[in-house]
Chains A and B, each alone.
Chain A
Amino acid sequence: MIQFLFKGLMRDKSRSLIPIIVVALGVIITVFLQSLLSGVIGDSIESTANFTTGHVKVMTRSYSENSSQLPNDLALLGVDTLKESLQKQFPEMTWAERIQFGGLLDAPDSSGHTRSQGNVSGMGIRLLNSTEEISRMNLGPTLVSGKFPSNPGEMLLSDELCRKMKLKPGDKVTLISSGMYGDMAMYNFTVSGTLHFGITMLDRGLMIADIEDVRSALYMENASGEILGFFTNARYDNKLAKEAAKSFNAQYVNSQDKFAPVMLPLSEMNDMGFLVAYSENVQGIIVTIFIIAMAIVLWNAGLLGGLRRYGEFGLRLAIGESKHEVYLTIVAESLLIGIVGSVIGVIVGLLISWYMQTVGWDISSMMKDSNFLMPSVMRAHISSTTYYIGFVPGIFSTVIGAMLAGIGIYKRQTANLFKELEG
Chain B
Amino acid sequence: MKTIVEVKNLVKKFPIGDGFFTALKGVNLIFTEGEFTGLVGPSGSGKTTLLNIIGTLDVPTDGDVIVLSKSVGNLSPKEAAQLRKEELGFIFQNYNLLPVYTVFENVEFPLLLLKMSAGERKQRVLETLEWVGLTDKVKSRPSQLSGGECQRVAIARAMVKRPRLVLADEPTANLDAANSHHILQTMEKLNRELKTTFIFATHDEKVIGYLHRIIRLADGKVVEDSSPLNSPKGDLKSESSQGTITNNNDLDSSPSGRLGGAL
Q: Does A289 contact B (CB under 8 A)?
A: no
Check if A12 sits within 8 Å of B84, measured CB to CB.
no
Contacts of A164 in B (CB 8 A): none
Q: Does B229 contact A (CB under 8 A)?
A: no
The proximity string for B residues 83-112 relative to A, scoring 1 for CB distances below 8 Å and 0 otherwise, is: 011101010111010101100010011101
Q: Does B2 contact A (CB under 8 A)?
A: no
Question: Which residue of the partner chain A has the closest CB to B118?
Answer: A3
Q: Does A183 contact B (CB under 8 A)?
A: no
Check if A320 sits within 8 Å of B101, measured CB to CB.
no
The interface stretch among B52-60, B180-188, B254-262 is: B52-60
Given known A4-B112, A12-B100, A422-B169, contact A318–B58 (CB-CB < 8 A): no
The proximity string for A residues 400-423 relative to B, scoring 1 for CB distances below 8 Å and 0 otherwise, is: 000000000000011100100110
Given known A4-B112, A415-B58, contact A422–B84 (CB-CB < 8 A): no
Contacts of B109 in A (CB 8 A): 4, 319
Check if A415 sits within 8 Å of B101, measured CB to CB.
no
Of A312, A319, A415, A422, the contact of B113 (CB 8 Å cutoff): A319
Q: Does B234 contact A (CB under 8 A)?
A: no
Contacts of B84 in A (CB 8 A): 317-320
Given known A1-B112, A4-B109, contact A415–B96 (CB-CB < 8 A): no
**Count of B interface residues, CB-CB < 8 Å:** 28
Of B57, B93, B98, B110, the contact of A8 (CB 8 Å cutoff): B98
The proximity string for B residues 142-180 relative to A, scoring 1 for CB distances below 8 Å and 0 otherwise, is: 000000000000000100000000000100000000000
Given known A8-B100, A422-B92, contact A317–B86 (CB-CB < 8 A): no
Q: Does A362 contact B (CB under 8 A)?
A: no
The interface stretch among B74-82, B192-200, B202-210, B218-226 is: B74-82
Cβ-Cβ contact count across A and B, 8 Å cutoff:
71
Q: Using a CB-CB cutoff of 8 Å, which residues 319-341 of chain A contact chain B?
A: 319-325
Contacts of B94 in A (CB 8 A): 421-422
Q: How far does the alpha carbon of A28 sit from the alpha carbon of B77 in the complex, in Å?
A: 42
CB distance from A9 to the nearest CB of B (A): 9
Q: Does A315 contact B (CB under 8 A)?
A: yes
Check if A415 sits within 8 Å of B100, measured CB to CB.
no
Q: Does A11 contact B (CB under 8 A)?
A: yes
Q: How far does the alpha carbon of A323 sit from the alpha carbon of B81 in the complex, in Å?
A: 9
Of B81, B108, B169, the contact of A317 (CB 8 Å cutoff): B81
Q: How far does the alpha carbon of A322 sit from the alpha carbon of B85 in the complex, in Å?
A: 9
Q: How far does the alpha carbon of A311 sit from the alpha carbon of B86 in the complex, in Å?
A: 21
Contacts of A239 in B (CB 8 A): none
Check if B78 sits within 8 Å of A322, measured CB to CB.
yes
Question: Which residue of the partner chain B has the closest CB to A415?
Answer: B58
Given known A1-B113, A414-B57, contact A11–B100 (CB-CB < 8 A): yes
Question: Which residue of the partner chain B has the closest CB to A326?
Answer: B81
Q: Does A163 contact B (CB under 8 A)?
A: no
CB distance from B185 to the nearest CB of A (A): 24
Check if A318 sits within 8 Å of B90, measured CB to CB.
yes
Question: Which residue of the partner chain A has the closest CB to B56?
Answer: A414
Of B52, B85, B93, B96, the contact of A320 (CB 8 Å cutoff): B85
Q: Does A88 contact B (CB under 8 A)?
A: no
Check if A318 sits within 8 Å of B55, measured CB to CB.
yes
Q: How far does the alpha carbon of A205 sit from the alpha carbon of B229 in the complex, in Å?
A: 115
Contacts of A4 in B (CB 8 A): 101, 105, 108-109, 112
The proximity string for A residues 226-267 relative to B, scoring 1 for CB distances below 8 Å and 0 otherwise, is: 000000000000000000000000000000000000000000
CB distance from B18 to the nearest CB of A (A): 19
CB distance from A261 to the nearest CB of B (A): 72
Check if A312 sits within 8 Å of B98, measured CB to CB.
yes
Check if A319 sits within 8 Å of B85, measured CB to CB.
yes
Question: Which residue of the partner chain B has the closest CB to A420?
Answer: B96
Check if A414 sits within 8 Å of B58, measured CB to CB.
yes
CB distance from A251 to the nearest CB of B (A): 69
Contacts of A320 in B (CB 8 A): 81-82, 84-86, 88, 110, 113
Q: How far does the alpha carbon of A144 sit from the alpha carbon of B96 in the complex, in Å?
A: 77
Q: How far does the alpha carbon of A315 sit from the alpha carbon of B81 in the complex, in Å?
A: 12
Contacts of B110 in A (CB 8 A): 319-320
Contacts of B85 in A (CB 8 A): 319-321
Q: How far does the alpha carbon of A388 sit from the alpha carbon of B52 in the complex, in Å?
A: 49
Contacts of A8 in B (CB 8 A): 98, 100-101
Residue of B81, B94, B96 with highest tally of chain A CB at under 10 A: B81
Question: Which residue of the partner chain B has the closest CB to A309?
Answer: B98
Question: Which residue of the partner chain A has the closest CB to B158?
Answer: A319
Q: How far does the alpha carbon of A315 sit from the alpha carbon of B96 in the complex, in Å?
A: 7
Contacts of B86 in A (CB 8 A): 320
Contacts of A324 in B (CB 8 A): 77-78
CB distance from B163 to the nearest CB of A (A): 10
Q: Using a CB-CB cutoff of 8 Å, which residues 62-81 of chain B contact chain A?
A: 77-78, 81
4 further interface pairs, Cβ-Cβ under 8 Å (given A11-B101, A418-B57): A1-B113, A319-B90, A325-B81, A422-B92
User: What are the 3 A-B residue pairs with the smallest beta carbon separation, nearest first?
Assistant: A320-B85, A322-B81, A11-B100
